[in-house]
Amino acid sequence: MNAYTLLLSAQLLYYLLITQTGVVGAFDSHIHDLYTLPIGGVLGSLFAAFIKHNHIKIELYALLFCQLLLSLFYPHYSLLWILLLGFIVGYTTPLLFFIFKDQKKINLAIGLGLSYAIGTALYSYPFEQRDSIAFVLSVISIASLFFLELKPTKKIEEKVDGKIIAILVLWIFADSALFETLSRSSDMDIWSHYTLTIITFHIIGILVAYKYPMDVVKKHRIIFPLFLLSYLLFTIKIPILLAIIYPFTISYYNFSLFRYIINLNNIKTIGIAMVLVGWVATSLANAIALEKQIWIVYLIFALFCATFFILNRRKYEKSNHSTHAYKRFHTRTKPQI
């Protein structure tokens, strides 16, 4: 494990334990106390996307020191401070993905594995008492950054596949809605009762994604049914099976998502993608979970399945029509003997 892996893991843990669950839990999931968080995240991602980055390491130092200072006052945040927290996370994430571009897949696998294992183990830690966790993670991030040798950035124009971004948004949306719903469900508290099982299948999901790589579109044929199964297990309330399928799904899709975002290889492209994938999708899902309107997710799943069926049917009919036309043409042009 190198400094890049440690930095990525520490920041992912900070997002999981502080930004995503800590602050939300400390404010009892009240939207009117938290709405500035995604606003700050979107602003931070756009700021990272559209400014010139000549000294990324200095930028990261400034951001991480601000994060450290905010950690000293956790969880006593005003709306302005929550806005700043979102801005820091939104700004930092595209830079971290960009500097990770030259790292091997194994480093990403180790970073994700550490994050999910430690994050799961500490999930039940009281929200209001996570100030020490926030402080330690910020210190680890700053220390890791000290040992990094960053190369000068190169401007590379990358094209983004809209279909892939739509798939990633659907994954994040489905994950966030179920996660936030489960974290507020007293009878489906899988993290407290099946901690070791969840950690094990997080690791298995990462190993499978690492060992058997596929492109996002092909992997969607596996991940989408896994999400459907996870929601089914939640609906019929089988927590032990959910503690197996859901963590596997999270780790399996996140490895692919991180690989795709990192390989965009351009801060502007990554920043814009993170607005949709990292903030819009999660914010909508969180709002649905907080308002207990999970039926909207089922409706979106149904619409997606219907759209997928229609598009594939049209593709099949078009292919079938082309085949028949080809056969008719060759039948007419076949020389007579």
Region of poorest pLDDT, from 55-64, 150-159, 194-203, 235-244: 150-159
pLDDT given for residue 226 in this prediction? 94
Burial of 122 (0-12, 13-18, 19+ CB in 10 A): middle
Q: What is the spatial distance between Cα 247 and Cα 71, in angstroms, rounded to a whole number?
A: 28
List pLDDT tens digits, range 98-126. Answer: 999 888 999 999 999 999 999 999 998 99
pLDDT given for residue 322 in this prediction? 53
Q: What is the spatial distance between Cα 190 and Cα 262, in angstroms, rounded to a whole number?
A: 31
* 213 cis-preceded (ω within 30 degrees of 0): no
Give all strands (DSSP E) within 225-319, no chain letters. Answer: none
Q: What is the spatial distance between Cα 96 and Cα 177, in angstroms, rounded to a whole number?
A: 25
Domains assigned to the chain: 3-299 (1.20.1250.20)
Cα angle 224, 177, 246 (rounded to 5 degrees) comes to 50
* 126 cis-preceded (ω within 30 degrees of 0): no
Q: What is the spatial distance between Cα 312 and Cα 217, in angstroms, rounded to a whole number?
A: 13
Q: Specify the pTM.
A: 0.87
The pair of structure tokens assigned to 308 is 């997928």
Contact 223, 170 (CB under 8 A): no
Handedness of CA 17, 21, 23, 27 (dihedral sign): negative
The pair of structure tokens assigned to 230 is 């996870």
Contact 138, 68 (CB under 8 A): yes
* Alpha carbon 301 to chain centroid, angstroms: 18
Q: What's the whole-number average pLDDT of the chain?
A: 86
Residue 271 has pLDDT above 50, yes or no: yes
Residue keyed to tokens 């044929």: 221
Contact 270, 94 (CB under 8 A): yes
* Alpha carbon 291 to chain centroid, angstroms: 22
List pLDDT tens digits, range 291-303. Answer: 788 888 888 888 8
Give, rounded to a whole angstrom, the gap between the first and last alpha carbons of the chain: 73
Kindly state the average pLDDT of the residues 74-87: 92
| Nearest CA among 178, 174, 157, 171 for reference residue 272 | 157
pLDDT given for residue 328 in this prediction? 57
pLDDT given for residue 337 in this prediction? 45
Residue keyed to tokens 């920041």: 11
